Chains A and B, each alone.
Chain A
Amino acid sequence: MAEENHDESLEFGDNVDMSTFEQILDMDDDEDDKEFSKGIVFGFLEQAEQTFDKMEASLASKDLQELSALGHFLKGSSATLGFVKVKDQCERIQHFGAKKDETGTGNIQDEEYCLRMISEALAEAKKTFNEVAAQMRQYYAES
């Protein structure tokens, strides 16, 4: 269960904000089996996949409000884990779903544009999620 390549596997690149992720790791009582953080991380992976599915569905039904809510939802947990790239895309989805620009301040009238942007952001979110998910699976030596 314990990693041989412990140090290397801690390198998640810029996918993960280490200071945030480390405080999750710090919650582990056992450095080796990392039971708690593993539970959290894999819980997140599961949650993210479900949320992405919901997002796709909402995108199909052009439900911007729901998309915004889903974006916010996933933003919360990805931020908690320090998965910053996923978080950023979720934030974009949240904002565009609320018909706001990327900063969340300016209003956008064009719903089609918002949907298009959300579609882009969702694709990007999935891509970066898959990266981080692979890294995590490797880190926890479970694939």
Chain B
Amino acid sequence: MAIRKLWVRRGNASATQVAVSPDDLVDDVRDAVIRKYLNSIGRTFDAPDVSLRICPREQTNKAGNERTLAPDEPIVRLIDAYYPGGQKVEEALIIDVPQRRTPKPSPRSGPHLQSYYIAEEIRPGDADDYFPPMPALQSPHANAHGTLPTSHSANSHLHSMAVLTTGQLPPLPSPGGRSNRHRPKAGRQTTSSPTILHSAQISNNHLDHKQPLNGTIPPPTPPLPTPPAQNSDSRNSTTPPTRVASPPPNPRQRSGRRKGPTNSMDRNGATRHHSNMGHVLPTAPASVGLLDTSVPPINVLIVEDNVINLKLLEAFMKRLKVRWKTAMNGKEAVAVWRTGGFHLVLMDIQLPVMNGLEATKEIRRLEALNKIGVLSGSLPDGLLESCLNGDGVDGDLADEEMKSEDRLQDRKAMFKSPVIIVALTASSLQSDRHEALAAGCNDFLTKPVNFVWMERKVTEWGCMQALIDFDGWRKWKGLAAQEEANKTSKKGESKADQRAALKAIFSQPPKTRKEREKEKERELKERENAQVGGPVGGPVGASTGGRPKSPTNVRRPTGKTNIIEVNGNGYDGKNDSSTSGTAVMPEKR
């Protein structure tokens, strides 16, 4: 006898046939089952996981109860024995698959309306029940019509509808179903950006964590400034916000023609600070508007030679409510970048005078020479200066290459980290992209620029930069907070005073452990104040990168041995490393 067909089914689902050869074993049937149920069982289980149950015919006194078949039983003979005269559909072998220990809804469940449910009545070993390998999908619709099998019985025969409701994978969300597909609009006010919320969360946690340490002093960073609430209302309405400051137009660029409604696209009234952007504290409306935008208050340099494109990009930056400056060729771009304070450069590649790649290389060269980002955070002031002056550890290099015209002014305040350069290229050639990346660009966008992408890039890179430039970020974010912090933290206590106080403490003889802990609290608190309210030029460790090291850096200038005792590993206070670590680290993020 040649191939025979064998009925199998899953639980109450409709039966199906698999082919078996006369000398096949149950094990072979399992293989066939896996192939047959490729999408449901086969996706999750291997053949050996599957077990087959056979239900004897009613009133057959022969075999007694249903049982699970052993893998080595010859299937054809078995079927013949159980079902003389041939197996009927109703007598299909029942496929069992192991129960998942923790059936989980698909992680993609996201915003879909369907809820995944796991049948309550499913229990392992409950012979009558069939447990689907995947969480069953229950659409409310199906439920309402009662098509979902509610009573499971081995003999109840359900048709293909049951398959739909049991064995099916959850539907994939359509790839286009992203929620943020909207284009930015002036009137649009999304809820506060996740990023902002997130970082707010962080700093709140951070404060909560530290509060006990602060003793009687109130937390230096109060909750987020409240003004945005009312402000966002006015933004949601169609009334355009009053133009706080007209953007000083680039001499070359006509900003004419646009007035009236266009004003609502104005960025947050931050005046353009030509010489010290990013350093100067924003005017109040800026910090207010900031919280209801989704893009961090970064400073963007747009390099584009075509006025039409430039205009458009500018309008887009307005819409994103970020600050920007423009340059129309590479040389100009470098010059403008050198004024400092930029987080992001949108760099057209093909430019007159100096092309985008050359400009990028030049910026990177200057960054490297001025050690932007690389070591700036982990070196104390003195060492840093000495590096720059050419007599530090890297003295040779600095001496040779650092010409005065290459030195960036005000580098510590204005160049917190290497600028992100996003190349704008009209070409979609892979080689051009590689060239751009090789020149030092971080990313690229193909022209014509898709605004959705543009917004994403600005948001992503902007968030990153905002976090790196945490103090700048905070300044924007926490003007109100800062004021309050300054008020509460001993009024008028200057950096120097604080340092002197620290020095005084550290020059005292070693303390008892309790005293040391107290000091620690006080110190942490002071450092925190410095971070919140202090000017950029404060302690290096507190204002720039390299925070893990900052505790030592902060104190290095005092030069006392017991500093090490307090901070270093020599001190066995239980909170020592962990406290200073946690107190500082979250800010880094």
Query: Which residue numbers of A lie inside 8 Å of B, CB to CB?
Result: 20, 23-24, 26-27, 29-30, 33, 35-36, 39-40, 43-44, 47, 69, 72-73, 75-77, 79-82, 104
By the criterion CB–CB under 8 Å, are A76 and B258 in contact?
no
CB within 8 A of B306: which of A23, A33, A39, A73?
A73
Nearest Cβ on chain B to A72's Cβ, whole angstroms: 6
Contacts of A69 in B (CB 8 A): 352
By the criterion CB–CB under 8 Å, are B426 and A82 in contact?
no
Contacts of B352 in A (CB 8 A): 69
Query: Which residue numbers of B lie inside 8 Å of A, CB to CB?
Result: 183, 185-187, 240, 257-258, 260-262, 264-265, 304-309, 311-312, 315-316, 319, 348, 350, 352, 426-427, 447-451
By the criterion CB–CB under 8 Å, are B261 and A26 in contact?
no
**Assuming A47-B308, A73-B305, is B350 touching A23 (CB within 8 A)?**
no
Knowing that A77-B307, A82-B448 touch, tell me 6 more A-B residue pairs with CB under 8 angstroms. A27-B315, A29-B262, A29-B264, A35-B262, A69-B352, A80-B449
By the criterion CB–CB under 8 Å, are A76 and B261 in contact?
no
Residue of A nearest to B184 (CB): A26
CB within 8 A of B308: which of A27, A40, A72?
A40
Contacts of B309 in A (CB 8 A): 76-77, 80
By the criterion CB–CB under 8 Å, are B312 and A24 in contact?
yes
**4 closest A-B pairs (Cβ-Cβ)?**
A77-B308, A29-B261, A79-B448, A39-B257
CB within 8 A of A40: which of B186, B311, B427?
B311
Can you name 8 A-B residue pairings with CB atoms under 8 Å? Answer: A27-B319, A29-B261, A44-B308, A76-B309, A77-B306, A77-B309, A79-B426, A80-B309
Contacts of A81 in B (CB 8 A): 308, 448
By the criterion CB–CB under 8 Å, are A80 and B448 in contact?
yes
Residue of B240, B315, B450 contacting most chain A CB atoms (<10 Å): B315
A40 to B314, CA, bound (A): 12
By the criterion CB–CB under 8 Å, are A35 and B447 in contact?
no
A73 to B187, CA, bound (A): 33
CB within 8 A of B447: which of A24, A40, A44, A79?
A79
Contacts of A26 in B (CB 8 A): 183, 185, 451
Contacts of A79 in B (CB 8 A): 426, 447-448
CB within 8 A of B183: which of A23, A33, A82?
A23
Contacts of A39 in B (CB 8 A): 257-258, 311
Nearest Cβ on chain B to A140's Cβ, whole angstroms: 13
A75 to B306, CA, bound (A): 10
CB within 8 A of B312: which of A35, A40, A47, A104?
A40
